[in-house]
């Protein structure tokens, strides 16, 4: 069977590398990764290829690695244009973006340029070269500070940062494109908190600099990094069971598998009958539906790593919201998606990756 080529911008990053792995493992697709390595290294893609080959042999697809910036319209167009007729881009999974909430408030122009400008370049090339299937990486941050927990997709979007607004704007752009052109099909995936790594410890999260997210920070502290000035827990007076913020952690391989469900659903017209005026456009949460507090996660990582994380409770951090826990029912009903991995597996796999690769891919 001929394999279809899926383009994955951002495929060298944390989530992207696990999505590339998951897509290749099906044996049905080849992949093209576009990345400018702003927050990643080509080694991640090399390891994904090696891992899939070790596990599945030659039955799996191949990976083209293209160094290009999403802001470079000509380079993005070339990715679609320079291809033989039997190897056209079949679908795009857009993962590449700038993603730090705090930084986005300091350099908003860069965030809109990469995230929104990058999407527009991609949509333009997809439209021109008739590659009109898109799976888009959005975020639970589009919900802002919702009152209803767990959070259904019908919750109005109210993001609190330029980063979150770039995701909201992109969702609206993609919806408008689908509403205007019946040939377009797109599914937005609103990720909650992906964490963990492939259980081999061969690929994982390797952020440039100090991790902004709790779990990778705990993993790096456990290998001896960033122990000074100590771990700070921002606020223990939130309306949550232990007073610290609650998030919905989902194993990275579960999250990655959701992209396959979405890609398959793109070709199923029945999935779009409820999309009303949005054409063939839908948005789904990708979460586990289980809320865990900061203190729960410190304890889970203590068990996985054996390291007693000393921490200090300090004041609330601007922009943090008490609880982001997904209602995962719609993705389960309509995409057949369910997160299976446990919290212990997530922490074990994260620690396996970090302890085998204390300096990441370098
Ligand atoms: N990690 C999370 O907790 C989380 C949560 C919700 C949503 N998301 C979204 O998931 C996506 C991936 O996140 P991640 O954690 O894997 O981040 P990451 O930084 O590891 O991956 C992003 C990738 O995009 C690449 N990239 C950045 N700017 C680019 C540009 N101009 N041109 C080409 N490539 C570029 C980076 O080099 C990197 O490889 C992002 O869209 C992010 O907003 C992440």
Residues 125-175: tens digit of each pLDDT: 999 999 999 999 999 999 999 999 999 999 999 999 999 999 999 999 999
Q: Measured at the alpha carbon of residue 213, what is the angle toward residues 203 and 101, in degrees to the nearest 5?
A: 120
Does residue 353 form part of some domain? no
Q: Which ligand 1 atom is the nearest neighbour of the CA of 99?
A: 43
In the reported structure, the alpha carbon of residue 75 is separated from the centroid of ligand 1 by a whole-number distance in angstroms of 19
Structural domain range at position 100: 4-196+248-288+326-339
Residues 185-241: tens digit of each pLDDT: 999 999 999 999 999 999 999 988 899 899 999 999 999 999 998 899 999 999 999
Distance CA 209, CA 100 (A): 12
Does residue 351 form part of some domain? no
Is residue 29 within 8 A of residue 3, CB to CB? The reply is: yes
List the residue whose alpha carbon is closest to atom 13 of ligand 1: 15
**What single DSSP character describes residue 85?**
G
Q: Which ligand 1 atom is the nearest neighbour of the CA of 163?
A: 43
In this prediction, what percent of the chain has a pLDDT beyond 70?
A: 100
Task: Note if 281 is an active site residue.
Answer: no
Q: State whether residue 265 is helix, strand or coil.
A: helix
Number of domains in the chain: 1
In the reported structure, the alpha carbon of residue 14 is separated from the centroid of ligand 1 by a whole-number distance in angstroms of 7
Does residue 318 form part of some domain? no
- Find the DSSP H helices in 191-328: 214-222, 252-265, 294-305
Does residue 261 form part of some domain? yes
In the reported structure, the alpha carbon of residue 139 is separated from the centroid of ligand 1 by a whole-number distance in angstroms of 11
Does residue 297 form part of some domain? no
For residue 229, what pLDDT is reported? 87
Does residue 231 form part of some domain? no
For residue 193, what pLDDT is reported? 98
Mean pLDDT of 262-288: 92
For residue 137, what pLDDT is reported? 98
Is residue 35 within 8 A of residue 16, CB to CB? The reply is: yes
Residue from 29, 112, 136, 163 carrying the catalytic annotation:
163
Q: Are strands 246-251 and 291-293 parallel, antiparallel or unpaired?
A: antiparallel
For residue 108, what pLDDT is reported? 97
Does residue 360 form part of some domain? no
Torsion of CA 212, 42, 115, 192, to 10 degrees: -50
Q: Are strands 63-67 and 246-251 parallel, antiparallel or unpaired?
A: unpaired
Does residue 40 form part of some domain? yes
Residues 242-270: tens digit of each pLDDT: 999 999 999 999 999 999 999 999 999 99
Q: Look up the CATH number of the domain holding residue 29.
A: 3.40.50.720
């Amino acid at each position: 069977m001929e394999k279809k080529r899926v383009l994955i911008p951002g495929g060298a990053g944390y989530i992207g590398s696990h999505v590339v792995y998951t897509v290749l493992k099906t044996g049905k697709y080849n992949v093209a990764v576009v990345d400018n390595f702003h927050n990643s290294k080509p080694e991640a893609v090399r390891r994904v290829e090696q891992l899939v080959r070790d596990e599945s042999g030659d039955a799996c697809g191949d990976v083209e690695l293209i160094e290009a910036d999403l802001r470079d319209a000509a380079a993005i167009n070339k990715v679609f244009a320079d291809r033989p007729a039997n190897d056209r881009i079949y679908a795009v999974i857009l993962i590449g973006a700038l993603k730090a909430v705090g930084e986005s408030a300091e350099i908003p122009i860069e965030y809109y340029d990469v995230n929104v400008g990058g999407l527009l370049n991609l949509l333009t090339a997809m439209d021109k070269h008739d590659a009109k299937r898109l799976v888009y990486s959005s975020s639970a941050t589009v919900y802002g500070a919702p009152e209803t927990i767990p959070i259904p997709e019908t919750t109005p979007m109210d993001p609190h940062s330029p980063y979150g607004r770039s995701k909201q704007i992109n969702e609206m752009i993609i919806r408008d494109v689908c509403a205007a052109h019946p040939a377009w099909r797109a599914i937005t995936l609103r990720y909650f908190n992906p964490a963990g790594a492939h259980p081999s410890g061969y690929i994982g999260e390797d952020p440039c600099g100090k991790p902004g997210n709790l779990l990778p920070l705990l993993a790096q502290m456990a290998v001896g990094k960033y122990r000074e000035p100590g771990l700070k827990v921002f606020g223990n007076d939130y309306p949550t069971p232990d007073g610290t913020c609650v998030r919905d952690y989902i194993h990275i391989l579960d999250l990655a598998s959701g992209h396959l469900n979405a890609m398959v659903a793109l070709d199923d017209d029945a999935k779009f009958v409820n999309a009303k005026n949005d054409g063939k456009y839908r948005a789904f949460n990708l979460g586990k539906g289980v809320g865990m507090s900061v203190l729960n996660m410190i304890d889970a990582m203590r068990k996985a790593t054996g390291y007693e994380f000393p921490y200090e409770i300090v004041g609330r951090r601007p922009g943090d919201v008490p609880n982001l826990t997904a209602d995962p029912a719609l993705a389960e009903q309509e995409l057949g998606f369910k997160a299976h991995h446990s919290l212990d597996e997530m922490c074990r796999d994260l620690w396996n990756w970090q302890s085998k690769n204390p300096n990441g891919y370098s």
